[in-house]
Amino acid sequence: MPMKPYWKQVRRLSQGICLLIFLFLFRQTDYSGTDTIPYAVNLFFRLDPLVLAVVTLAMKTFVSLLWPAFITIALTLVFGRVFCSWVCPLGTLIDLSDRFIKPRLKREPDLKFLKYGILTVLLMSSAFGVQFLGFADPFSLLVRGLAFSLDPMMNYLTSGFFDTVYAHAPAFVSDLTEHLYQGLKAFVLPYKQSFFHLAWLSFCILAGIFLLEFFGRRFWCRNLCPLGGLLALISKFSILRRIPVKSCSHCRLCESGCRMKAFDENSRFQPEECNLCMDCLEFCPDGITAFRFSLPRPRPFVDITRRQVILAGLTGLALPVLTRTQAVSQLPHDNIIRPPGAGDEIEFSALCVRCGECMKVCINNALQPLFLEKGIEGMFTPVLFPRMGYCEFNCTLCSGVCPTGALEKLTLDQKHGFVLGRAYFDKNKCMVYVREKSCIVCEEHCPVHDKAIKFDEKTVQRADGTSVLLKQPHVVEALCIGCGICEYVCPVEGAAAIRVFGKDERRS
Amino acid sequence: MDRREFLKQVALWSAGPILSPPVFDLLSPAGAAEIHMPEILTIKGTDLPAMVRSMTAALGGMEAFVKTGDKVVIKPNIGWDRTIEQAANTHPLIVSELVRLCLDAGVSRVLVFDRTCNEERRCYQNSGMAPALEKIKDKRFRLEYADDRHFVPVTLKNGRVLKEWSFHRDALEADCYINVPKAKHHGLTGLSLGLKNIMGAVGGWRGRLHYDLGPKLADLNTVIRPRLTLIDASRVIVKNGPQGGDPEDVKVLDTLVASRDTVAADAYATTLFGRLPNEIEATLEAHQRGLGQMDLDQCRIRRLDA
């Protein structure tokens, strides 16, 4: 039938468009001359029903920002797991990687149950108040991998080349390359080089997902992706169905060629595993494969046994308890300065899906992911790292890109009054006190009016008997909002002589 | 990509870290400005472009500063993410008028930049500088961000405290450098004026310049010598400088000050704040080094009509 190959092309087109939209939104996650970003850059997280499920369970309330996830659910109820093969940018990238990474395993063990297990763990632990979505959600892994490692790496390489030419080549060469560079900067490259903690880790996780392709095509999607698992469960009720329901016995090309391995050991078609890539329309020499609308007749089980569900459920129960009984959950912390708009710690970590958007958009590269400083629970959550960058006084971008409202959207006035922490002087290090020289770079940069850093003019007797008039700075605690610019600009060696400490929340 | 191609690429990419940047070794004669009776122009009014035109006309026209084919750098203060009303940055209309005058004089290139304190895109945008300068559609003109790569190390032959610091390459190479500072309060130095404005043309960790800032500013000013310093005192910050932020911090003076001698321009502008030139350490230091004249009795002060 002439129509058959056509659907595969449409699927590929859809994948291409969605990937381009994803990359475009990724690039737009940046300052563009206004205080709001004109695109819904967090779109893919808000379309993600797994984010909806986990956040709703963790918060015990519906977060209205996440309404687009219902579009995905509706789409799945009609067409099945079409999201995985037509929309998901990670799936598209995995499909693209198949050109370079060929499966090496002859017989692959059946691990389809794992994704349901991971899903169960995520949902259970969220219900008990600690969510681990950031370790498994495909978009969190993808965006973090891109934002923390691949994008900075690409820019580092490219700007390294152009900067070298600019510094050393004769003008007529560098004029040309600068033109090219500006063009790349306008459309492809990020505005400036960023640097992230956990660049290595984020890169390795993302690379790992692609390396899994050595075990089989779409290995991640079939066996591990909890979003795939959730969509598979929903798609049991979908009305678009492939026929025949069993691969007919003569060639089994549809079965052997299926990237999702959507057939059980008896060659029965598993609609929840099918992501409607439409390849099998092409394989079938007899042309009997087709997709039809019909009422769903869900099989009573999925590829996970009752014991596995119970085990996963118990794990999901144990993890939050384990997390909360770690000493780290009780300790006051030096370096936990949450971004503007963050609520209390418990609410923040329940809402934050570790998507990396706020850190990506941070105009001064000041927001950085935590490692284990606050235990497993805090991993990949954003904190302000003032020695790296400070919170720009008039900027509200991070709270605007948060997909779940973990950072509440702030107006400029709210932002100006939002206290991230407080600054404290280390008079054993500040050069006004140690070297008896006026400096007050901190006072100069303090953006609040009335300045939170003030100075007294004081005549000080030096050791050699001479006296000197010094400007001695101090912090007015009630005025300080903890933006960290003082710590950022402090010119002393190593750690600054003025440091911002986050709002401490010792729990007992 | 085959192996040979890969090796070629690696060689190309790794060239960057291996080669070191060029070192400028400038010897600017200290005290080259006309120390003897420098001329100071001042004008009051609200039509800033017209005031800029009158000033340059009174100094002999822009042709007195640039010749055909010159490369010009205009260095305003765009240091802060503040609006025109908040007065922390040079008024963009002054800068755009200077750019136009230079272009009309037939120069080959006009570059405007500042190394900002707040995030540069926000500063350029919210200071009004980028919106105002975008209107100038001339290929010879560029408004650029001062990326790190523009800064090259310079040995300061005449430096007393600083022996080496990095400077903006285009500022060093410019045939004509026009200094367009904002006059405003500054906690450490008292006032931020023309000599202080050089901070936006140097690289490195600028916080480290802040102790002994006066002598260091004088040192930096031995390297880049503006042909013209035009101080924006249209709206000035009188407290909570150098960024202010509150309308109460701002005083409207509607004044511009210009001179070929930065020290003289600074000295006069200081009096607008009711202070004496020698209270500003950088002015005093620069004067003592012969970089300019701060004694207003030794200057010819001309008040122009707006």
Question: Which candidate in A164, A471, A486 is best for mutational testing of the B interface (most B CBs within 10 A)?
Answer: A164
Q: For residue B64, tell me if it sits in a domain.
A: yes
Q: Which residues of A touch B184 (CB under 8 A)?
A: none
- What residues of chain A lie within 8 A of the CB of B210, using their CB? 439-441, 444, 491
Instruction: Decide: B153 and B21 in contact? Cβ < 8 Å.
Output: yes
Are the C-beta atoms of residues B283 and B196 closer than 8 Å to each other? no
Q: What is the pLDDT of residue A401?
A: 96
Which residues in chain B have their CB less than 8 angstroms from residue A163's CB? 16, 149
Mean of the pLDDT values across residues B60-83?
A: 97
- Per-residue pLDDT of B20-45, as tens digits, reads 555 655 545 544 444 579 999 999 99
* Cβ–Cβ gap B187/A168 under 8 Å: no
Reported as a pLDDT band with limits 50, 70 and 90, residue A193 is very high
What was the pLDDT predicted at A247? 77
Q: How confident is the model at residue A333 (pLDDT cuts 50, 70, 90)?
A: confident
Asked if the model's pLDDT at residue B101 lies above 90, the reply is yes
Least confident of A10-24, A31-45, B265-279: A31-45
Tell me the C-alpha distance between B223 and A185, whole Å: 32
Average pLDDT over residues A149-160: 96
Q: How far apart are the two ends of chain B, measured CA to CA in Å?
A: 67
Write the ipTM. 0.92
Number of domains in chain B: 1
Give how far B189 is from chain A: nearest CA, Å: 10
More confident site: A5 or A281 = A281
Over range A124-132, report the average pLDDT. Answer: 94
Residue of chain B whose Cα is closest to the Cα of A441: B207
pLDDT of residue A294: 85
Question: Nearest to residue B280, comparing CAs of B291, B301, B271, A455?
Answer: B271
Mean pLDDT over each residue of chain B, to the nearest integer? 91
Q: Distance (Å) from the C-alpha of residue A160 to the closest C-alpha of chain B?
A: 6
Identify the CATH number of the domain in which residue B47 sits. Answer: 3.40.50.11440
Task: Judge whether A433 is closer than 8 Å to chain B, CB to CB.
Answer: no
Chain A contacts of B242, Cβ < 8 Å? 444
Determine how β-strand B176-180 pairs with β-strand B228-237.
parallel
Q: Which long-range contacts (CB under 8 A, 24 or more apart) does A160-166 make?
A: A160/B13, A160/B16, A160/B17, A161/B12, A161/B13, A161/B16, A163/B16, A163/B149, A164/B15, A164/B16, A164/B19, A166/B149
Range of the domain at B191: 25-304
Determine the 3-state secondary structure of B109 from DSSP: strand
Question: Of A163, A439, A489, which has the smallest distance from its Cβ to B149's Cβ?
Answer: A163
Q: Please tell me the predicted confidence (pLDDT) of residue B24.
A: 59
pLDDT band at B119 (very low <50, low <70, confident <90, very high): very high
Residue B9 predicted with pLDDT over 80: no
Residue B115: band (very low, low, confident or very high) from pLDDT cuts 50, 70, 90: very high
Q: What is the pLDDT of residue A1?
A: 42
| Stronger pLDDT, A50 or A248, i.e. the higher one | A50
Considering only the beta carbons, identify the residue of B15, B186, B211 that sits closest to A444.
B186
A451 reaches B (C-beta below 8 A) = yes
Q: Cβ of A449 and B207 within 8 Å?
A: no
- Write down the pLDDT at residue A462: 87
* pLDDT over threshold 80, residue A507: no
Element (H, E) at A434: helix A431-434
> How close B39 comes to chain A (CA, Å)?
32
* Average pLDDT of the segment spanning A430-458: 94
Q: For residue B17, which residues of chain A lie inside 8 Å, CB to CB? A: 160
Compare B90 and A174 and report the one with higher pLDDT.
B90
Q: Which tokens hold the place of A212?
A: 């899994």
pLDDT of residue B30: 47
Best A438, A472, A489 member to test B by mutation, with max B CBs in 10 Å, is A438
The length of chain B in residues reads 306
Of residues A126 and B17, more confidence is placed in A126
- Whether residue B270 lies inside any domain: the answer is yes
Q: Tens of pLDDT along A230-254?
A: 999 999 899 998 888 887 777 888 8
Contacts of A394 in chain B (CB under 8 A): 81, 122, 126
Residue B218 lies in a domain: yes
Q: Does A163 touch chain B (CB under 8 A)?
A: yes
User: How much of chain B exceeds pLDDT 90, in percent?
Assistant: 85
Residue B160 lies in a domain: yes
pLDDT at A103: 87
Averaged pLDDT score across all residues of chain A: 92
Q: Is A30 on the interface with B (CB under 8 A)?
A: no
- B15 is a domain residue: no
pLDDT mean over B75-103: 98
pLDDT value of residue A394? 97
The DSSP 8-state label assigned to residue A404 in this structure reads S
pLDDT tens figures, A301-318: 678 899 999 999 999 999
Is the minimum CB–CB distance between A31 and chain B shorter than 8 Å?
yes
Asked if pLDDT for residue A371 goes beyond 80, the answer is yes
Residues in chain A closer than 8 A to B130 (CB atoms) = 33
Query: Do the chains contact at B207 and A489, CB–CB below 8 Å?
Result: yes
The answer, for A186 touching chain B at a CB cutoff of 8 Å, is no
Q: What share of chain A is helix, strand, coil (3-state, %, to 5)?
A: 45, 10, 45
Q: Do A363 and B187 touch (CB under 8 A)?
A: no
Confidence of residue A335 (pLDDT cuts 50, 70, 90): confident
Q: Residue B107: pLDDT above 60?
A: yes
Contact B246 A449 (CB under 8 A): yes
Please tell me the predicted confidence (pLDDT) of residue B23. Answer: 61
Does B109 reside within a domain?
yes
**Residue B116 falls inside a structural domain:** yes
* Cβ-defined contact of A161 to B208 (cutoff 8 Å): no
For residue A64, what are the contacts with CB-CB under 8 A and spacing of at least 6? none
pLDDT at B104 exceeding the cut of 60? yes
Nearest Cα to Cα of residue A483 among A373, A369, A392, A380 = A392
pLDDT at B287: 96
- Tell me, what's the pLDDT at A68? 97
Identity of the residue in B12, B210, B245 whose CB atom sits nearest the CB atom of A447: B245
Q: For B213-265, what is each residue's pLDDT tens digit?
A: 999 999 999 999 999 999 999 999 999 989 999 999 999 999 999 999 999 99
Contact A167 B22 (CB under 8 A): yes
The verdict on A440 touching B (C-beta cutoff 8 Å) is: yes
Q: Is the pLDDT confidence value at A377 over 70?
A: yes
Inter-chain touch B13–A33, beta carbons under 8 Å: no
B11 falls within a domain: no
pLDDT in the model for residue B21: 54
Distance from CA of A412 to the nearest CA of B (A): 13
**Percent of chain A scored above 90 by pLDDT?**
75
